[in-house]
Amino acid sequence: MYSRRDETSELIAMVSCGGIWGTTAERHGLLPQLADAGISTLSDIKAKLGKTLPRHMVPTRCVLVPDLPILPSGKLDRKKLQQILDPDGPHHELHEESSVTIPYIEPGNRIAEQLTDKLVNLSAAARDGDRAAALSRRDLSLSSIDLDSIRLINLLSFIRKEFDVSLSIALLYEDGLTISALAKIISDHRSGLAAPNGHERIDLPNEVQNAYRRLLTSTEPPSDTASPQPLTTKKTVFLTGATGYLGSEILRQLVTSTSIQKVIVHVRAATAEKALERIIHAATLSKWWSSAYVPCIECWAGDLGLPAPQWKILTGDCGPDARISGIIHNGAAVQWQAPYAALKAVNVGSTVALLSSIRRSPFPISFTYVSGGVKKRSADGKRGSLAATADIAKANGYSQTKYVSEELVAKYAREDDGKKAHHAFHIVRPGLIIGTEEDGVPNTDDFLWRLVQACYTVGGYPKPETGGVWLAVADVREVAAASVRGPSTTSISPESPGEPPNLDITEIEAGILVEDFWAIVTAELGAGGIKAVDGEEWVGRIQDLREQLEEAHPYRPLMAMLEEGSFDLGSASGR
């Protein structure tokens, strides 16, 4: 469950001890009795969960409780759960490894000592004097500390200021990286012994193949398929990512369509009620919500490890009235600086899970995958070709996970196993997304608008080195419409020559020349706006600005992306 301390949110794991809950003295030995071998501390729990979950889904706290309170309806009693967490409530909180388990940093290692002081200050331990003191000067692993992407950026900023060393954020996500190991990397950089830092190289074709094998071995296809039915009569659609900017517009178009009876929306939330609240909040910000849409929406809360009744609806193992006929997979964890390994479980794993569900279904289902990230093309102009992986391999982790997921969908559609020919697959490749011309509601957290804000702050934008650079950017309604349209029948005329008849690929080609984009921005800002400056000078201004910002400023992740070169504004071959 989520809890708030001061101004921050924490994800707390609550472990029921059932009948073995005893005295206070005995509680310290409860965890080994409840867990697998080798699990005896909070750090052990975090390390195990971190192998299958992205960092933001790993709990920052873990408490042992006598039992989980249940309402008569069978649901958790969240009010009583909160009471259990009160200081005097019946619980035992686990902390990181004991002082016996975590070794001290070697005396005299000044870099490591400064790092541990900074890390303890950044973590939740800073609010607990005893815990902070216990962790001080210990050789902690970074993965055991509750550091989100903003705090990791703060750590990188500290390292840059204190030691004059620039590191990639991907380095901080490495499993088992300890403070002493990080201190040695910094020392090596200062002495010139370290190799240039960059993103981890991922064998993307191998990642696609592994995901495909995992899909084929995760479930068996049905022995018999139902009689093919046209997909033009679909009534119920399953949608992921509906609380995001694009997902909210997709949901709007679905619930206002006369051909849609119901939209099942998957939302990462504690309950269906909380999920609906998130949907309404996003729709209200986008200025389209009406209570009249509530009957059309069914919320499934949690992750894609769905309970049996919901899973049976996805697989078609249910009555005809409950069966879904279309899936739009738009959801993803968007963390522009996190490496591939940190996002793989959510972004690639969710695609494997949904493809696994339709693989089991004997009924025809249309599957639409909304891709994203860096738009790259190979020499033959096909972004989806594996020949493009030389560029994608240098992209950020988010773009890499979207690329692998897209290739997985295409591979599954192409390499027919005789059991899925009745399904239809649709891949939508958008670029950047902006608001509509009519209402202009923007996604203010988007890279593009944060870039414009940063450029306005420094009084300049990077002058394109060459002309004709194309910025792929589209109206949110256009991208949503392409996603909702999906494959209309089981026999599709693919846009890309050579694709199988059950695979449709829609490339959103809308956009603007980069020089025209900046011309519009400068014209709107007027005389006191921004001017084109040389790229090197612009980077210098951005670096100066970075030093002036508060540690939690929203520009910081953007600036790190720009300085690492993990995002290019436009592509010479993108038009």
Q: What's the pLDDT tens digit per position in 482-502?
A: 999 876 433 333 445 556 678
Residue 439 makes CB contacts below 8 A (sequence gap 6+) with 287
Residue 141 lies in a domain: yes
CB 467 within 8 A of CB 515: yes
Q: Is 466 exposed, middle or buried (0-12, 13-18, 19+ CB in 10 A)?
A: exposed
β-pairing, 61-65 vs 92-94, is antiparallel
d(CA 482, CA 479): 5
Lowest mean pLDDT of 36-40, 63-67, 109-113, name the range. Answer: 36-40
CATH number of the domain that residue 39 is part of: 3.30.300
Total domain count, the chain: 3
Q: Which of 134-143, 185-194, 508-517, 555-564 has the highest mean pLDDT?
A: 508-517
Residues 185 and 211 in one domain: no
The upper half-sphere exposure of residue 293, i.e. CA atoms within 13 Å in the direction of its Cβ, equals 22
Element (H, E) at 247: helix 245-255
Residue 69 lies in a domain: yes
Supply the pLDDT for residue 487.
Answer: 65
Average pLDDT, the chain: 77
Strand pairing partners for 372?
A: none
Supply the pLDDT for residue 22.
Answer: 57
Residues 362 and 469 in one domain: yes
Q: Which of 32-46, 49-63, 561-575 has the highest mean pLDDT?
A: 49-63
Lowest mean pLDDT of 66-70, 204-208, 259-263, 310-314, name the range. Answer: 66-70
| CA proximity to 328, closest of 215, 485, 446, 433 | 485
Supply the pLDDT for residue 490.
Answer: 36
Residues 42 and 182 in one domain: no
Q: How large is the average pLDDT for residues 117-133?
A: 68
Residues 149 and 246 in one domain: no
Residues 114 and 248 in one domain: no
Supply the pLDDT for residue 493.
Answer: 38
pLDDT bin (cut points 50, 70, 90) of residue 316 is confident
C-beta atoms surrounding 340 within 10 Å: 26
Lowest mean pLDDT of 12-16, 181-185, 279-283, 554-558, name the range. Answer: 554-558
Residue 31 has pLDDT above 70, yes or no: no
Q: How large is the average pLDDT for residues 324-337?
A: 86
Give pTM, 2 decimals. 0.75
Cα–Cα distance list, 44 to 50, 100, 176, 485, 520 (Å): 10, 15, 12, 46, 53
Residues 86 and 136 in one domain: no
Residue 410 lies in a domain: yes
Q: How large is the average pLDDT for residues 65-70?
A: 79
Residues 166 and 50 in one domain: no
Supply the pLDDT for residue 510.
Answer: 85
Lowest mean pLDDT of 131-140, 304-313, 453-462, 551-560, name the range. Answer: 551-560
pLDDT bin (cut points 50, 70, 90) of residue 454 is confident
**Which among 94, 122, 142 is the end of a domain?**
94
Element (H, E) at 9: strand 8-16
**Which among 474, 496, 514 is the end of a domain?**
514
Q: How large is the average pLDDT for residues 374-383?
A: 49
Residue 243 lies in a domain: yes
Q: Is 305 exposed, middle or buried (0-12, 13-18, 19+ CB in 10 A)?
A: exposed
CATH number of the domain that residue 313 is part of: 3.40.50.720
Supply the pLDDT for residue 243.
Answer: 92
Render pLDDT for 236-247 as a digit per residue (tens, 0 to 9).
Answer: 999 999 999 999
Share in percent of the chain as helix, strand, coil (round to 5):
45, 15, 40
Residues 350 and 210 in one domain: yes
Residue 236 lies in a domain: yes
Residues 59 and 179 in one domain: no
CB 81 within 8 A of CB 14: yes
d(CA 491, CA 15): 50
Residues 62 and 172 in one domain: no
Supply the pLDDT for residue 375.
Answer: 58
d(CA 153, CA 148): 9
d(CA 386, CA 568): 20
| CA proximity to 377, closest of 429, 314, 307, 419 | 429
Q: How large is the average pLDDT for residues 538-559?
A: 70
Render pLDDT for 80-122 as a digit per residue (tens, 0 to 9).
Answer: 887 777 766 677 777 655 444 577 888 889 999 888 888 878 7
Supply the pLDDT for residue 318.
Answer: 84
Cα–Cα distance list, 386 to 164, 170, 390, 504 (Å): 38, 24, 9, 18
d(CA 414, CA 494): 12
Element (H, E) at 10: strand 8-16
Question: Which tokens hold the place of 341?
Answer: 């390994």
Q: 490 vs 351, which has greater pLDDT?
A: 351
CB 386 within 8 A of CB 205: yes
Angle at 480 between CA 318 and CA 446, to 5 degrees: 120
Residues 259 and 343 in one domain: yes
Strand pairing partners for 10?
A: 3
Express as a percent the part of the chain with pLDDT over 70: 71
Render pLDDT for 384-405 as a digit per residue (tens, 0 to 9).
Answer: 444 455 567 667 788 889 999 9
Express as a percent the part of the chain with pLDDT over 90: 20
Residue 565 lies in a domain: no
Supply the pLDDT for residue 55.
Answer: 64
Residues 346 and 440 in one domain: yes
Residue 10 has pLDDT above 80, yes or no: no
Render pLDDT for 261-299 as a digit per residue (tens, 0 to 9).
Answer: 999 999 988 889 999 999 999 999 889 999 999 999 999
**Which among 475, 497, 514 is the end of a domain?**
514
Q: Which domain holds residue 114?
A: 110-191
Residue 321 lies in a domain: yes
Supply the pLDDT for residue 378.
Answer: 43
CATH number of the domain that residue 127 is part of: 1.10.1200
Residue 418 makes CB contacts below 8 A (sequence gap 6+) with none
Residue 440 lies in a domain: yes
